[in-house]
Amino acid sequence: MTAELHLAVALDGAGWHPAAWRDPAARPAELFAPAYWLDLVRTAERGQLDFVTIEDSFDLQPGPRPDHVKGRLDALLIAARIAPVTTRIGLVPTVLTTPTEPFHVSTQLATLDYLSRGRAGWRVRVAGQPQDPQGTADLFADAADHVEVVRRLWDSWEDGAEIRDVATGRFVDRDKLHYIDFTGRHFSVKGPSITPRPPQGQPVVTALAHALPAYEFAAAAADIVYVTPDSAGSARAIATEVRSLTDRPLKVFADLVVFLDPARKARLDELDGTPFVSDAHLFSGTAEGLSELLLDWQAAGIDGFRLRPGALPADLTSIVDELLPVLRARGAFRTEYTAETLRGHLGLPAAQNRYARVTA
């Protein structure tokens, strides 16, 4: 019997093709409207996908061309707006580590976990692209410290720390609040958090990785690593390498840019004046062909896939209405949600509180 895949979609503006906003089915006038993002996420939820990621950056989209989309909304705020009006799908905004304070990131993501009732995640992104290996190593070392602080702050309130006993006047059990006392190269954080432990205990941490320094970071800090193989053979090699770097439970997802209408991609390439290329493998073809690729790479050791729709909403709709029925017919994808939380969708173990273990 075929094991069930994990599937997510990566949402970015009008789609991953730079000319996607010019597609007849696109909605460029609504890119900065909450209703647009809600419609996309509800489509993904209708397909029972594990989660959506939402792209973000402190820079404008690259390139000087005026015929490419420029500008974006804050990913974390989009997720917060969507959380109360969706029910099951995981919400994983991109939040950069380099220019942000981990204390604030921890409370914001914990709040998102409360708003979504346990469906929050975090796509960790490292800002900056230094040219020398030492600069790259420093960036990932700083990111590792950032994630460690955030995780400690999530644990700084034990479960049940809130007593809320009106009769005795005790709201919290102070013995269940903990200093984290973290000191690193750039962060010195005492704690505890100002936000009680999130519903999931630890929201799901994810990271994109293309090479060894990022693999090492993701293996140490993340629950899911997105990788970018270009064949079943490279998928096997990368999955083996990443898993060799940790003894923790770690999900390996492959990123794929997806066009489920080759004619649409050809039109967008013509409008853009150049064939589209990406850091991730690009698939342009039928739902049946994509299902074969996914199952081949799954057999090579990939746990799941983060599909980047080439054009939105068209390719997202095709993923839900064309690809998923093919996978379900093969027993490779769920027909309904069976869990309430993002950790539950992914089959991740319950998050243990490091401080509760000490006091026990």
Give CA–CA dist 67/22, Å, rounded: 9
| pLDDT at residue 128, as a whole number | 73
| Of the candidates 321, 278, 280, the residue with the CA atom closest to the CA atom of residue 302 | 280
Query: What type of residue sits at position 280?
Result: A
* Complete domains list, the chain, with CATH: 6-359 (3.20.20.30)
**Rg (Cα) of the chain, in Å, rounded?**
21
Sign of CA dihedral 310, 314, 316, 319: negative
Q: Which residue has the tokens 């209703």?
A: 35
For 356, the token pair is 């509760």
Half-sphere exposure of 299 (CA within 13 A, CB side): 10
For 216, the token pair is 């090492």
Whether the model pTM is above 0.85? yes
3-state secondary structure of 306: strand
Cβ-contact 228, 210 below 8 angstroms: yes
| pLDDT at residue 357, as a whole number | 64
- Compute CA distances 265 → 19, 23, 30, 268, 269, whole Å: 9, 10, 22, 5, 6
| pLDDT at residue 131, as a whole number | 65
How far does CA 147 lie from the centroid of its chain? Answer: 14
Question: How do the pLDDT tens digits run along the chain, 360 residues long?
Answer: 578 999 999 999 999 999 999 999 999 999 999 999 999 999 999 999 999 999 999 888 877 798 999 999 999 999 999 999 999 999 999 999 988 899 999 999 999 999 999 999 999 999 877 667 788 888 999 999 999 999 999 999 999 899 888 988 889 999 999 999 999 888 899 999 999 999 999 999 999 999 999 999 999 999 999 999 999 999 999 999 999 999 998 999 999 999 999 999 999 999 999 999 999 999 999 999 999 999 999 999 999 999 999 999 999 999 999 999 999 999 999 999 999 999 999 999 999 999 986 554
